[in-house]
């Protein structure tokens, strides 16, 4: 039976060619001893030789972890790392079957490697990984609409080089259950910002306690917003665009965990902190995230939320720029929440993502701040009619509409496809973003944003096409073009902008 | 005296005999063994193929007891290519991108990249929280096999 099944196998698939070849050879070759190998035999032989040779060459590939140094590697001992991380010259199939003397000539002497030079990131305890990246960006906006004497006029903005990111990251696996992480950011190439510093204790996969300044788990992007080289797109989704954040990115105390299921896993997080404007009496903000990953992590469905837990204030004073939270600076009190869902699917080299978020606000405007804002920022007619009881009566504290409600909404769809070529990875992508915030204004200095705040109704959409080119895994060059559409002065207007972002990863990256 | 026609039939029957022997032999499918240290608490088949994909793509970072999973990789070897094809279903670069994303957000440190089965075994044997894969032909008593997969399977 076994022979019969095997024979059936042999007449299907790859063996068929071999059988036919063998039949022809045996029947018609002048000498039986001159049996040629089938091409399919060749594959088997090649793989056998490759694996054999790979074992052979492990003592001669100097840049890799070697048998001898692995023996010296303590399971619980200290370790340092080699510049360039764990990336190392490893034998390809061709290299592996090359004569050993050739390989030895190309590789440094194994004895030259000490433990201090070994690349053992991710393996040993007491490891301190240092890595990071920097990026330089070019932006230019074309035909941006404005209103002059009641008419729409368009003008190009000057082109601009900026340095949005310089991140140095330190990760220390103190023990198998304790870890520390620090993320130092050099924004604009001029100021240093401590984006993250936290410690984590993991008594089990289900309970991990993180404390410090932490990017909260919220949607698909918040935790990875400083990982620009790795995702599609240059700009973050509007939810976490620094011009109009719906909530603060960071929290102080976060409990998270993962529960493995027969198919996939559930992941959760709960977080709390002082709140958007700092500590307030009887206010306990709560952030949460729940997602289900399946298909080996290729598919994610999740929901995230946040409640201010009472009346909160802005984290920034009026006139000091856009808030780093969801509360605008002219509010005396703002009780709000954010809720939404997200989904991601990775099908082969195609990635598709989508998120939807809604943030209802119940607000008490501060009359003095509103008057200052109106006089300094010059809101449009729609915005004035929201802020003032009688928009034609001029800005005065008694004319300010104090109690109000409004919703901020945003959603997006992103898709990208990765092509691997001899020149590296080329990954085209498209994005569609929608954002609506009726309360915001245009002037960033007064806490507004110059996208939704410019629009009559606080609504804009943005469509983007772009491409990521990665000649080597450590370099990502992104070029994209966005079209913004919104209403201005009662008319549908649009403008477009191009961006080029080049980032370089360094240190112990994979 | 063997005639030409007889020679043909002798060769034909010889072919059938060889073909049957060849077909009856164990199929030469590349098999990959998922291994941990002998001291690891995981039992055989404790890690499914799907969970393995989660581990190697960074979707699962901790064992049930909270210990960090030390992922040992050999993506650039022949064994690695078969493993990525059979288990991960993505290119190595795509997976590296996912790990870099985790690195830059502090969620994980990178897998250890090894150049051969032999090194993987050395590393695995020394760390009870590590997991790796080797060609089944390289399996020995220095490590514990917890799962065997067909390296040619998609």
String of DSSP letters for A327-339: S-TTEEEEEEEEE
Q: Is there a contact between A297 and B54 if contact means CB atoms under 8 Å apart?
A: yes
Q: Which of residues 412-451 of A touch B (CB under 8 A)?
A: 418, 420, 425
Q: What is the pLDDT of residue B21?
A: 65
**Residue A310 in domain:** yes
**Residue B133 in domain:** yes
Q: Is the pLDDT of residue B91 over 70?
A: yes
**Residue A49 in domain:** no
Using a CB cutoff of 8 Å and minimum separation of 24, what contacts does A95-101 make? Answer: A95/A57, A96/A49, A96/A50, A96/A53, A96/A54, A96/A57, A96/B77, A96/B78, A97/A46, A97/A49, A97/A50, A97/A53, A98/A53, A100/A56, A100/A57, A100/A60
Chain B residues in contact with A173 (beta carbon < 8 A): 68, 109
**Residue B20 in domain:** no
Q: What is the pLDDT of residue A83?
A: 32
Does the predicted TM-score (pTM) go above 0.80?
no
**Residue A89 in domain:** no
Q: Which two tokens stand for residue B92?
A: 């190595």
Q: Which chain A residue has the Cα nearest residue B105?
A: A224
Q: Which two tokens stand for residue A382?
A: 């729609």
Higher pLDDT, B137 or A72: B137
Three-class SS state of A69: helix
Among all chains, which residue has been given the structure tokens 């998609």? B154
Spatial neighbors of A33 by CB under 8 A, at least 6 apart, are none
**Residue B144 in domain:** yes
Q: Which chain B residue has the Cα nearest residue A51?
A: B78
Q: What is the pLDDT of residue A103?
A: 30
Q: What is the pLDDT of residue B134?
A: 96
Is A196 an interface residue toward B (CB < 8 Å)? yes
Radius of gyration, alpha carbons of chain A:
30
Give the range of the structural domain holding residue A181, as residue numbers without chain letter. 127-507
Say how far apart CA A363 and CA A337 lie, in whole Å.
Answer: 12
Opening angle at CA A16, ends A13 and A17, nearest 5:
110
Q: What is the pLDDT of residue A97?
A: 31
Cβ atoms of A201 and A178 within 8 Å: the answer is yes
- Total domain count, chain B: 1
**Residue A106 in domain:** no
Cβ atoms of A357 and A338 within 8 Å: the answer is yes
**Residue B8 in domain:** no
Q: Which two tokens stand for residue A73?
A: 């590697």
- β-sheet with B31-37: strand ranges across: B112-113, B70-73, B130-135, B31-37, B143-150
Q: Which of residues 276-315 of A touch B (CB under 8 A)?
A: 293, 295-298
Q: What is the pLDDT of residue A6?
A: 40
Q: Which two tokens stand for residue A460?
A: 């804009």
pLDDT along chain A (510 residues), means of 10: 42 41 43 35 26 31 39 38 33 33 35 37 61 93 88 89 89 91 88 93 95 95 87 85 85 95 93 88 92 93 96 91 91 96 94 97 96 93 94 92 97 95 94 96 91 94 96 94 94 95 86
End-to-end CA distance of chain B: 54
Say how far apart CA A16 and CA A25 lie, in whole Å.
Answer: 14
Q: What is the pLDDT of residue A255?
A: 98
Say how far apart CA A47 and CA B92 lie, in whole Å.
Answer: 19
**Residue B126 in domain:** yes
Q: What is the pLDDT of residue B20?
A: 65
**Residue A68 in domain:** no
Say how far apart CA A228 and CA B59 lie, in whole Å.
Answer: 19
User: Assign residue A143 a region: left if phi > 0, alpha if psi is -120 to 50, beta otherwise?
Assistant: left
CATH number at A194 reads 2.40.160.10
Q: Is there a contact between A54 and B62 if contact means CB atoms under 8 Å apart?
A: no
**Residue A137 in domain:** yes
Share of residues in chain B with pLDDT > 70 (%): 85
Three-class SS state of A217: coil
Q: Which chain B residue has the Cα nearest residue A265?
A: B60
CATH number at B136 reads 3.40.190.10
- Total domain count, chain A: 1
Give the range of the structural domain holding residue B93, as residue numbers without chain letter. 31-150
**Residue A90 in domain:** no
Tens digits of per-residue pLDDT, B37-88? Answer: 988 877 656 688 888 999 999 999 999 888 999 999 999 899 999 999 899 9
**Residue B140 in domain:** yes
Inter-CA distances, A348 with A21, A266, A305, B109, Å: 36, 23, 30, 24
Sign of CA pseudo-dihedral A45, A46, A47, A50:
positive
**Residue B112 in domain:** yes
String of DSSP letters for B108-144: --PPEE-SSHHHHHHHHHT-TTEEEEEEGGG--TTEE
Q: Which of A27, A258, A349 shows the shortest C-beta gap to B11?
A: A27
Average pLDDT, chain B: 85
Q: Which two tokens stand for residue A453?
A: 């705040």
Q: What is the pLDDT of residue A40?
A: 29
Nearest to A464 by CA among A477, A482, A485, A478: A482
Q: Is there a contact between B68 and A176 if contact means CB atoms under 8 Å apart?
A: yes
Say how far apart CA A99 and CA A277 lie, in whole Å.
Answer: 67
Cβ atoms of A487 and A380 within 8 Å: the answer is no
**Residue B136 in domain:** yes
String of DSSP letters for A407-458: EEEEEEEEEEE-EEETTEEEEEEEEEEEEE-TT--S-GGGT--TTTTTSSSS
């Amino acid at each position: 039976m076994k022979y019969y099944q095997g024979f059936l196998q042999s007449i299907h698939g790859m063996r068929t060619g071999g059988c036919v070849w063998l039949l022809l050879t045996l029947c018609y070759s002048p000498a039986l001893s001159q049996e040629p190998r089938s091409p399919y035999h060749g594959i088997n032989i090649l793989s056998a030789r490759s694996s054999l040779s790979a074992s052979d060459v492990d003592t001669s590939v100097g840049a890799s972890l070697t048998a001898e140094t692995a023996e010296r590697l303590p399971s619980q001992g200290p370790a340092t790392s080699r510049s360039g991380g764990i990336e190392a010259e490893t034998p390809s199939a061709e290299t592996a079957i090359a004569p050993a003397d050739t390989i030895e000539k190309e590789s440094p002497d194994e004895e030259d490697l000490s433990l201090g030079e070994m690349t053992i990131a991710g393996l040993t305890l007491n490891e301190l990984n240092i890595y990071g990246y920097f990026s330089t960006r070019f932006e230019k906006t074309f035909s941006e609409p404005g209103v002059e004497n009641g008419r729409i006029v368009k003008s190009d903005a000057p082109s601009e080089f900026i340095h949005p990111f310089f991140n140095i990251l330190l990760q220390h696996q103190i023990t198998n259950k304790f870890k520390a992480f620090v993320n130092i950011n050099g924004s604009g190439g001029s100021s240093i910002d401590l984006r993250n510093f936290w410690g984590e204790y993991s008594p089990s996969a289900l309970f991990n306690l993180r404390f410090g300044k932490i990017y909260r788990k919220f949607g698909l992007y918040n935790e990875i917003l400083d990982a620009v080289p790795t995702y599609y797109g240059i700009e973050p989704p509007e939810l976490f665009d620094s011009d109009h954040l719906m909530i603060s990115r960071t929290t102080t105390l976060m409990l998270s965990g993962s529960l493995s299921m027969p198919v996939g896993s559930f992941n959760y997080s709960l977080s709390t902190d002082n709140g958007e404007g700092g500590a307030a009496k009887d206010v306990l903000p709560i952030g949460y995230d729940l997602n289900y990953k399946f298909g080996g992590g290729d598919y994610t469905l999740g929901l995230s939320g946040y409640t201010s837990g009472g009346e909160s204030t802005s984290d920034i004073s009026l006139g000091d720029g856009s808030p780093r939270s969801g509360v605008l600076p002219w509010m005396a009190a703002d009780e709000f929440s954010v809720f939404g869902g997200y989904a991601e699917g990775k099908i082969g080299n195609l990635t598709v993502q989508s998120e939807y978020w809604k943030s209802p606000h119940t607000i008490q405007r501060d009359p003095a701040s509103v008057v200052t804002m109106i006089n300094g920022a010059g809101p449009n007619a729609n915005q004035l009619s929201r802020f003032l009881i009688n928009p034609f009566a001029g800005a005065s504290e008694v004319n300010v509409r104090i109690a109000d409600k409004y919703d901020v909404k945003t959603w997006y769809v992103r898709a990208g496809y990765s092509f691997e070529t001899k020149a590296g990875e080329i990954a085209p992508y498209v994005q569609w973003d929608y954002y609506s915030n009726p309360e915001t204004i245009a002037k960033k200095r007064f806490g507004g944003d110059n996208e939704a705040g410019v629009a009559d109704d606080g609504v804009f959409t943005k469509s983007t096409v772009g491409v990521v080119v990665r000649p080597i895994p450590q370099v990502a060059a992104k070029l994209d073009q966005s079209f913004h559409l919104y209403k201005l002065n009662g008319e549908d207007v649009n403008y477009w902008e191009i961006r080029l972002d080049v980032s370089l990863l360094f240190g112990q990256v994979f | 005296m063997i005639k030409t026609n007889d020679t043909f039939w002798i060769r034909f029957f010889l072919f059938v005999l060889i073909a049957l022997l060849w077909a009856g032999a164990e199929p030469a499918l590349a098999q990959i063994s998922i291994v941990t240290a002998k001291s690891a608490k995981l039992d055989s088949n404790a890690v499914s193929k799907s969970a393995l994909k989660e581990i190697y793509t960074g979707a699962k970072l901790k064992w049930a007891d909270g210990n960090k999973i030390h992922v040992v990789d050999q993506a650039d070897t022949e064994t690695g290519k078969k493993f990525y094809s059979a288990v991960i279903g993505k290119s190595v670069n795509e997976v590296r991108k996912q790990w870099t994303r985790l690195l830059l957000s502090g969620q994980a440190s990178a897998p250890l990249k090894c150049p051969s089965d032999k090194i993987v075994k050395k590393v695995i044997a020394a760390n009870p929280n590590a997991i790796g894969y080797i060609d089944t032909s390289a399996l020995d008593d220095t490590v514990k096999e917890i799962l065997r997969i067909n390296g040619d399977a998609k």
